[in-house]
Amino acid sequence: MANPTAAMLVIGDEILSGRTRDANMHYLAGELTKQGIDLNEVRIVSDDAPAIEAAVKALSDTHDHVFTSGGIGPTHDDITADCIARAFGAHIDVRADARALLEVHYEKSGLELNDARLRMARIPDGAELIDNPVSTAPGFTIGNVHVMAGVPLVFQAMVASVLPSLTGGRPLLSQTLRVDRGEGDIAATLAALAEDFGDLSIGCYPFQTNGVFGANVVVRGTDGGRIDAAMIRLAKEIEL
């Protein structure tokens, strides 16, 4: 059977403006690969409610899992939770279980649980909380959408909380061969290899070092034996 599929929705004007470099996609891709869940699509949208709702609906309909990052904090531009609720037609308000977590956290911290911080306890009806051992404010899962914070350390903690509950497939394996030749020199060889090993993904990634052109050829798949066979043939045909 094919592996489950996933998409990621990155939310935030700060990503699109270039002010903040997104690190969460790279982390999620690696964790899903180990879990045997194929990350097939990533979208980035601004802090615009219609855009968020449309993207969530589209990705939820076409993938087994959707992971969102960003927009669940205490400020006015943190609108993700409301948008997800509308996308699923769910009522949203401060929920007792989420509020209780924040009350304990802020009491220990000696800080006031004011109205702004209480926004982080607004959870859609029917959603399950995602544990946040870093800063307590929870994410949530509704349907097949996992809603998480944008701060990388918190995002990573939430991913670790969610992944054990998800059924994965066969982990994706890969091998890399460095070729000190330009892509044009090996293109025909790679095309023939890709045709004969249609069950594998064969990618060519060029580089230039000290004026010398080369490429890293990466062979990916779930069958280690097939990857070995492809790599042996590749090495032989380009006479390394």
In the chain, domain spans? 5-165, 173-237
Q: Which residues, at least 6 apart from 44, have a Cβ–Cβ distance to it below 8 Å? A: 9, 10, 11, 15, 16, 22
- Please give the average per-residue pLDDT across 63-72, as a whole number: 97
Q: Which helix (H) or strand (E) holds 182?
A: none
Whole-number average pLDDT of the chain: 95
For a pLDDT cut of 90, what percent of the chain falls above it?
95
Q: Please name every residue paired with 179 in a beta bridge, in sequence order, or none if there are none.
A: 215
Q: What is the pLDDT of residue 23?
A: 94
Q: How far apart are CA 151 and CA 157, in angstroms?
A: 10
Host H or E run for residue 153: helix 152-162
Q: Work out the pLDDT band at 238, boundaries 50, 70, 90.
A: confident
Q: What mean pLDDT comes out for the span 127-133?
A: 97
User: pLDDT of 71-129, one tens digit each?
Assistant: 999 999 999 999 999 999 999 999 999 999 999 999 999 999 999 999 999 999 999 99
Give the pLDDT band of residue 132 (cuts 50, 70, 90): very high
Q: Which two structure tokens, joined as six digits, stand for 46?
A: 């601004």
Question: Are 177 and 190 spatial neighbours (Cβ–Cβ below 8 Å)?
Answer: no
Q: How far is CA 2 from CA 162, 221, 222, in A?
A: 21, 12, 10
Residues 119, 9, 113: CA angle, nearest 5 degrees: 15
The two structure tokens encoding residue 87: 């996308």
The Cα 13–Cα 7 span in angstroms is 19
Whether residue 133 contacts residue 114, with contact meaning beta carbons closer than 8 Å, is answered with no
CATH 3.40.50.720 fits 173-237, yes or no: no
Per residue in 119-157, is it b (16+ CB within 10 Å) or e — as a string?
bbbbbbeebebbebeebbbbbbbbbbbbbbbbbeebbbb
Tell whether the model's pLDDT for residue 202 goes beyond 70: yes
**What global pTM score does this model have?**
0.88
What's the topology of domain 5-165?
Answer: Molybdenum Cofactor Biosythetic Enzyme; Chain A (3.40.980)
Indicate the residue type of 63.
H
215, 185 Cβ separation under 8 angstroms:
no
pLDDT at residue 240, as a whole number = 57
What is the per-residue pLDDT for 239? 73
Tokens 């949530």 map to which residue? 140
